[in-house]
Structure 1
């Protein structure tokens, strides 16, 4: 269950205090923004794309291809600035639950959202991470500030929340900061309950949902796969998860705090609505706290039977279908809800009709679902107490200091993995240069071989032609071996990366490879192909 870290300034503002790993060029200025960011926003103000003379000449070409027409007409939309990885979203620390639930995206819709986002003009790749404590969108954007605007406008349209209101609560992270944030999320460092494990399963689900979806491509898929590796490594090499609680256990602890001591064991009637991943954890924590009988409402009995098999024989779990929910609620003192329903299961009207709880107590609702399963106005009733995921902070704060100490060992791992990912991402810049340089050399080889064969006349045998071809390829491959080695880098070696980038620029200058133009052409071609599907 993903969330951001406890509210200690030493933790929640870690990225704000973190210096930028890559200082921006001196010619950039920084516009004022109300957006809550972890680091100072780095916008590129040079938003016009300048093409070479050969590209500009296409404007006079009467018989231009669709790609050429789009390329020349898109000069004010596609820029030469490097693609940016951006994280935009809301979380438990920046936005209240009533706003987060409007942006919650069911897992079944993630693939469609990726396609919708990549249909925007400046979004190349995308992924969605939507849990009860966060809704974060990760994109690779052709233009940083235009990509942010397009995604924010899309979020506003999808949720009905005005853009100015969204911006007051958004997190907005760029490049290394966005990568580090996702690594911290997967490691459980960015959760409400530090070290909780369910968020790693949710990050894995992002990769599973994105498989084969256009737009869940190289950079984003590699980012999430490495985040999974980071999460596993942190939990293996540190004791971050030892003794930690989950959102579900915090929900049970909260209910205990609101009830009289040992009332679970003695008198309280417990109802759990939903037997999915969260509901299963609630049931297990209830049993661990001494609850020997509980009623579980679910659509089917299969999941309830599976939970029964995992618990001790002295724990009685009574299954009831969803149609019996209100009847079961009438007999319950404490109700936990954790379903994926997109509309409230308990409204003010139907809760008002429930009989009063015995001994004059108020019926307790602990709702850990997003969107909420219990209508917010139920809390206005004198017969009910309603708690949601935002109310778990008082439980989590109890042992916060101990968990913060455990997190220190994980930060070194995340920093190391961040450097690896950034080196890999930067090394991708050399790929177009490698392709263009190979193509250039191949054109020279083929041309010179053709000249040689034409001088030798028409009587050259097939064997001689094959020998000449093998000779030319052998010379080319041996000559290319050195340059190709110096256009690839060891992702663990920062010095190697800087050398690769310098070699790439040198080859571009010496052979006029125009790889920036080819990159723009490829990006536009991908956008065209997606638009045609």
Structure 2
């Protein structure tokens, strides 16, 4: 989707749709001049991008003060860290509930030159989750990194501190300055973050509207996070719900019918650039036979390409593709013969996970000339990080196109799917309400646990008193009967309150009523849920850090 940018200047009034960072920044003209606000054309939801590492100077100062205090504390001192939290910021945390945040860069906000520096290979996603959750204010995390986007989803104890810590982590691991990341990133919180992921899973936020491959990539996030400390209830619930939304949108609308993927758009682009608009006489080479490469090969076959060379690390994947496309002459070559194959190719598609370029300018300069009907060798690079150096296009004998160049193909197919996108958004809003109700209902979980523990302490204490008064002559059978009686009484007393603290949307109680029941129970039994939950969160983080 296209983005239009509205620059916030002077004394401009912040719109209600803007998140906390934007409204805070508008308090002074000086800070307002540092904020750019990006609106998606589809709705009023805002993508807030800042030209600096922090939106709120006051919050940054508090964070720095805490950082200085932490420096004076001995590392690994759990009690001092918890005490520091209690004395300096506990009230702030309990007033500011944990937030779901997405911090990302995608094809709408950053060029491939920027995105490739921050790209995270799929194999590293589990380790990244662990690393993010060691940050002071991050409880849960997930990573979605594809050729069109690099997005980090977190549950943060504090919005401002969470964004600051994740951005600094991104800078440290990628080598990209915080200021550059902040210039291109977008930030979305809670309901807006969830809506964004649902739109991503449905294919509404893709370069190619309605593309199907992104749903498989969202599924891979869940697969990669299974069993990883930090991919916990809220984040996993968010991604699982997004998968359901993506499936439902594709089932109930025709958004995917006639749509193209990145791979098919790459094939279309190459077809547009060939002089005779045909693959019949062009010598085609595909580097990489993974998910993207396989789709490229299939689309090439569909466009009439009857012969192609595939370079891949292993032969098994290429053989499997050959079995599917028996009418196409597919020749496998190992990576060691890549340059020799490139010298004999007119059109080269690259789609590998290599973190460094496979084709350098000097390498391409040495390749033999292309077929007579072509003036320059055509490279279609749909990898992020890129597989072909940009400067290859400086040569008179070659031209390079990357994923950002696919807009030319996509524009021709976009208009007829806008109505389908509107239908999809109606489904997304319906599913968003369900997810928000589920997320809000999680607030009652700590109260349920603490009330159960409260009743259990009373039951166990009274049982012990009863048995001690009865002396040693009581039989095992009698002890069991008394124990069962105490458990039965406790469970029957718990049943009513527990029913009124649970919310699944299937009864007549509203979420507001359930949350009011929770607050009433906290008051009546002095459960101190918020403070206690905060302490539990900090203890969990300290335990993770010590492992």
Query: Which TM-score tier does this pair reach, normalised by the shorter chain?
Result: 0.7 to 0.9
- Looking at structure 2, the residues matched to 330 and 296 of structure 1 have their Cα atoms a distance apart, in angstroms, of 14
- SS of the aligned residue for 2:296 comes to helix
The correspondence for 2:313, drawn from 294, 299, 305, is 299
Correspondence 1:153-302 to 2 at 5 A: 153-265=168-280, 267-302=281-316
The correspondence for 2:46, drawn from 35, 39, 43, is 39
8 Å CA contact 1:238–1:406 kept in 2: the answer is yes
Query: 2:81 corresponds to which residue?
Result: 70
Residues 1:271 and 1:148: Cα distance change in structure 2 (over 3 Å) = same
> Structure 1 residues 164-173 or 471-480, which shifts more?
471-480
1:489 counterpart = 2:503: yes
1:130 counterpart = 2:145: yes
Q: Gapped runs of 5+ residues in structure 1?
A: 11-16, 50-64
- Looking at structure 1, the residues matched to 57 and 439 of structure 2 have their Cα atoms a distance apart, in angstroms, of 19
- Looking at structure 2, the residues matched to 528 and 72 of structure 1 have their Cα atoms a distance apart, in angstroms, of 13
- Looking at structure 1, the residues matched to 402 and 226 of structure 2 have their Cα atoms a distance apart, in angstroms, of 33
CA distances 1:399-442 after superposition (whole Å, capped 9, x unpaired): 21111111122112211221111111111111111111122222
CA distances 1:68-97 after superposition (whole Å, capped 9, x unpaired): 443212233662221111100110110011
8 Å CA contact 2:275–2:374 kept in 1: the answer is no
- SS of the aligned residue for 1:296 comes to strand
1:341 counterpart = 2:354: yes
1:352 counterpart = 2:359: no
- SS of the aligned residue for 2:279 comes to helix
- Looking at structure 1, the residues matched to 494 and 57 of structure 2 have their Cα atoms a distance apart, in angstroms, of 36
Residues 1:494 and 1:530: Cα distance change in structure 2 (over 3 Å) = farther
- SS of the aligned residue for 2:501 comes to coil
1:395 counterpart = 2:402: no
The correspondence for 2:491, drawn from 477, 499, 517, is 477
> Structure 1 residues 354-363 or 148-157, which shifts more?
354-363
- Looking at structure 1, the residues matched to 167 and 345 of structure 2 have their Cα atoms a distance apart, in angstroms, of 42
Query: 1:53 corresponds to which residue?
Result: none
Query: 2:322 corresponds to which residue?
Result: 308
- Looking at structure 2, the residues matched to 30 and 39 of structure 1 have their Cα atoms a distance apart, in angstroms, of 15
8 Å CA contact 1:250–1:395 kept in 2: the answer is yes
What is the TM-score normalised by the length of structure 1?
0.88
- Looking at structure 2, the residues matched to 364 and 337 of structure 1 have their Cα atoms a distance apart, in angstroms, of 11
> Structure 1 residues 184-193 or 349-358, which shifts more?
349-358
- Looking at structure 1, the residues matched to 479 and 26 of structure 2 have their Cα atoms a distance apart, in angstroms, of 62
8 Å CA contact 2:47–2:188 kept in 1: the answer is no
8 Å CA contact 1:366–1:387 kept in 2: the answer is yes
Greater relative contact order, per chain length (Cα 8 Å cut-off, separation 6+): 1
Query: 1:88 corresponds to which residue?
Result: 103
8 Å CA contact 1:423–1:494 kept in 2: the answer is no
Q: Gapped runs of 5+ residues in structure 2?
A: 6-13, 39-44, 49-54, 63-75
- Looking at structure 2, the residues matched to 437 and 354 of structure 1 have their Cα atoms a distance apart, in angstroms, of 74
Displacement of 1:468: 3.8
- SS of the aligned residue for 1:486 comes to helix
Residues 1:177 and 1:423: Cα distance change in structure 2 (over 3 Å) = same
- Looking at structure 1, the residues matched to 506 and 437 of structure 2 have their Cα atoms a distance apart, in angstroms, of 7
CA distances 1:328-361 after superposition (whole Å, capped 9, x unpaired): 1112111111111111011111111112322461
- Looking at structure 1, the residues matched to 510 and 78 of structure 2 have their Cα atoms a distance apart, in angstroms, of 36
Residues 1:356 and 1:531: Cα distance change in structure 2 (over 3 Å) = same
> Structure 1 residues 148-157 or 443-452, which shifts more?
443-452
Displacement of 1:464: 4.5
- Looking at structure 2, the residues matched to 98 and 114 of structure 1 have their Cα atoms a distance apart, in angstroms, of 24
- Looking at structure 2, the residues matched to 271 and 254 of structure 1 have their Cα atoms a distance apart, in angstroms, of 15
- Looking at structure 1, the residues matched to 510 and 191 of structure 2 have their Cα atoms a distance apart, in angstroms, of 19
- Looking at structure 1, the residues matched to 482 and 60 of structure 2 have their Cα atoms a distance apart, in angstroms, of 50
- Looking at structure 2, the residues matched to 204 and 355 of structure 1 have their Cα atoms a distance apart, in angstroms, of 43
> Runs of 4 or more off by more than 6 Å in structure 1?
27-30, 40-49
Residues 1:45 and 1:237: Cα distance change in structure 2 (over 3 Å) = farther
- SS of the aligned residue for 1:342 comes to coil
> Structure 1 residues 337-346 or 73-82, which shifts more?
73-82
- Looking at structure 2, the residues matched to 18 and 467 of structure 1 have their Cα atoms a distance apart, in angstroms, of 65
Displacement of 1:45: 7.9
Query: 2:343 corresponds to which residue?
Result: 330
Query: 1:149 corresponds to which residue?
Result: 164
Residues 1:225 and 1:30: Cα distance change in structure 2 (over 3 Å) = farther
1:525 counterpart = 2:539: yes
8 Å CA contact 1:423–1:492 kept in 2: the answer is no
- Looking at structure 1, the residues matched to 15 and 302 of structure 2 have their Cα atoms a distance apart, in angstroms, of 40
8 Å CA contact 2:47–2:186 kept in 1: the answer is no
Residues 1:299 and 1:434: Cα distance change in structure 2 (over 3 Å) = same
Query: 2:398 corresponds to which residue?
Result: 384
CA distances 1:197-219 after superposition (whole Å, capped 9, x unpaired): 11111111111111111111111
- Looking at structure 1, the residues matched to 59 and 108 of structure 2 have their Cα atoms a distance apart, in angstroms, of 34
Aligned length: 502
